[in-house]
Amino acid sequence: MSFGPELFTAMMRSFEEMVLPCRIGKIETGDTWAAFRLSSGKDRWLLFSWNPGSYGCGIVGEDGISSLKKTRVSRSSFGEGLKRNFQNASILSVRQLNSDRVLVFGAERLVGAGFPVRLSLVFEGTERNSNLVILDETGSILEPAKHIHGDMNRYRMIIPGVAYTPPPPMKGKHLGETGGLEGPEDLRELRGIGKGLSGLLTRSWDGRPVGYWNDMLARLLSGKEQGLILQRHGPLLTVFPEPLPFCEVLAGPILERCGEEVLSSYFLGQRERILSGVKKALEKEIRSRKRHRDGLENQIRLSERGSEFLKMGNLLLAAAEQVPPRAREVELQDWETGEPVLVPLDENLSASRNAERYFRKYKKGKVDREAVKKAIGGIDEGITELLEQLEALESIDDPDLLSVSARDVMEWLAPKRTAGGRKQKSAPPPHIRLENGGDLIYIGLNARGNRHVTFKVAAPTDLWFHVHEIPGAHVILRTAGKDQVPADSSLEIAASLAAWFSRAKNSGKIQVDYTEKKNVRSIPGSAIAHVTYVHPRTILVSPDRWKEFPEAARSRQLEDRI
């Protein structure tokens, strides 16, 4: 995601008109974000993110902050500094520095007998160098989110106790100093617009007269224009008085939409990091299991040549004196058949040691071949299940559900143990519960969640749903009473959820099988969530059909607690 300075100008105006002045209530922080609950409206939070991949600021709601809180790993000293300085303070003003991507929020906090302490909060939305800095009333730095030392940046230092220095000012002239632009090449020398918007205007320049562009830019950069249109072009967010070619118009208030974009970008980055971490762990486990399978397959190969190894060992012991030193092979006569036998040798070993080597291969190959083949089949089932786990995670859009499900998979691969070496008591595998009228619907979020809802939650007469012959979630539909029939809408919702949490999520209508849970059986020796079932009925449903039942959708509850 990328912001241009023209968007910061528009955000400054929106803050002045729609938000300020306001009082700061609660403050929440994470590793790369901070959020202030504002008194200027119910359920309004001012969000700052200095994450290089999702930097920006805007207004978000309570749900967004709740999701953010679940992603944080630890509390930072900077977060405590924000609370210490800005808790119960009032934000009174905002200004943009040097027509750049820097906003300075002026705040005041009352201490003691009503004595005012003035502070500033500087947000620098400068991609990988984005930062949030607390300043005292003299402009000295109290605490920055990211410390920048002299060996990192020759132009300025961002450390406590040093006077704040803004980023290097943009080159070029203000529009009023240019006397008007004559061509698209002049855009590069214009202060107040970024490279992204400059590139878009250059592509569209020949389609309009010069006067039109000068008028549009004057309205854009005046800081007084109302009704600027927020637009997106790839990762770029920008504003302009009219819709631009090649851009998607984003409807709604600028600050709220910017907040949504910051959250969306942040959660997308979180999603990629979570999936990457789980993928590495799963690939490591798969490699380990493949090595185990290779060892078992080698045992089968050895068992097929067991009698040959035994004969070679006995021949070497019986005719050790006929084996020349450092020979790589020797031809010996089989005393049973009289036929010559060519025996490969390790040239670094004596005849007796080579014989011992063949006896070891013989012993290693003395296995129950059918049992070993069965074990290989079980390993292959397990590898398939691990791959399905990654697919199941990739089908989850909700950041909360993804985080919990991924954590469960990681704990399944590497269970935590107590000091005594015992496994820690774990929460139930993650699954979701929804309500539709009096009916309850349970959805497993991964293999362990599937097994849990099917064999721990479901009663024998509950209905069990699964996409036909495609990996996906197990879904259980339980009626309000033992002899009651589920509502038709509940059948649709349950089937739709089975399709939504499956590999067929992006399909049109998909076939979903359902049957009573008593008709579902675990497959002995197979992966933990692989089952077989009989007497199925079928329903054809769209994967997103459940969203058309808002009351049921709103009732969704993650059940991952003991």
Task: Tell me how far apart the alpha carbons of residues 450 and 417 are, in angstroms, rounded to a whole number.
Answer: 24
In this predicted structure, the answer to whether residue 424 has a pLDDT above a threshold of 60 is no
Residues 232-248: what's their mean pLDDT? 93
- Name 47's bridge partners: 35, 58
Hey, what are 81's tokens? 């500094």
Query: Which has more pLDDT, 371 or 483?
Result: 371
* Mean pLDDT of all residues in 194-198: 94
| Dihedral, CA of residue 23, residue 28, residue 31 and residue 33, to nearest 10 | -40
What pLDDT is attached to residue 253? 93
Quote the strand ranges of 191-233, DSSP E.
229-233
Average pLDDT taken over every residue of the chain = 89
Residue 450 has pLDDT above 90, yes or no: yes
Q: Does residue 20 register a pLDDT over 60?
A: yes
Torsion of CA 19, 20, 24, 29, to 10 degrees: 60
pLDDT band at 423 (very low <50, low <70, confident <90, very high): low
Q: Please tell me the predicted confidence (pLDDT) of residue 562.
A: 41
Percent of the chain with pLDDT strictly greater than 90: 60
For 124-133, the pLDDT digits (tens) are 999 999 999 9
Nearest residue to 511 (alpha-carbon basis) of 523, 502, 519: 502
Q: Where are the domains of the chain?
A: 2-170, 175-249, 303-368, 431-560
Name which of 478, 471, 538, 536 is nearest 509 in CA terms. 538
Residue 388 pLDDT: 83
What is the average pLDDT across 517-539? 88
CA distances from 560 to 180, 279, 408, 432, 473 (A): 62, 22, 9, 8, 16
Quick one: pLDDT at residue 41?
64
| pLDDT score, position 96 | 96
- The SS3 call for residue 57 is strand
In this predicted structure, the answer to whether residue 268 has a pLDDT above a threshold of 80 is yes
pLDDT band at 98 (very low <50, low <70, confident <90, very high): very high
Q: For residues 300, 306, 312 and 315, what is the CA-based torsion angle, rounded to 10 degrees? A: 170
* Residue 125, phi-psi category: left (phi > 0), alpha (psi -120 to 50), beta (remainder): beta
Q: What's the burial of 229, exposed, middle or buried (CB within 10 Å: 0-12/13-18/19+)?
A: middle
The average pLDDT across 135-158 equals 93
Query: Going by CATH, does the domain composed of 2-170 fall within 3.40.50.12280?
Result: no
More confident residue, 423 or 378: 378
pLDDT in tens, 369-380: 888 888 888 888
Cα–Cα distance between 88 and 27 in angstroms, integer?
9
Distance between start and end Cα atoms, the chain: 39
- What does the pLDDT look like over 406-422, one tens digit per residue? 888 888 787 765 555 55
CA atoms within 13 A on the CB side of 187: 22
Report the pLDDT averaged over residues 290-294: 93
- 54-86 pLDDT, tens per residue? 999 999 999 899 888 888 877 788 999 999 999
Both tokens of residue 120?
A: 């500033």
* Cα–Cα distance for residue pair 180/195, rounded to 1 Å: 19
The pLDDT > 70 percentage for the chain reads: 96
Structure tokens at 495: 């089937």
Nearest residue to 512 (alpha-carbon basis) of 495, 497, 528:
495
138 CB burial (10 A radius; 0-12, 13-18, 19+): exposed
| Helix H or strand E encompassing 277 | helix 254-304
Q: What is the pLDDT of residue 2?
A: 86
pLDDT of residue 532: 93
Q: Is 105 exposed, middle or buried (0-12, 13-18, 19+ CB in 10 A)?
A: buried
The average pLDDT across 292-320 equals: 89
pTM: 0.73
* pLDDT category of residue 402 using cuts at 50, 70 and 90: confident
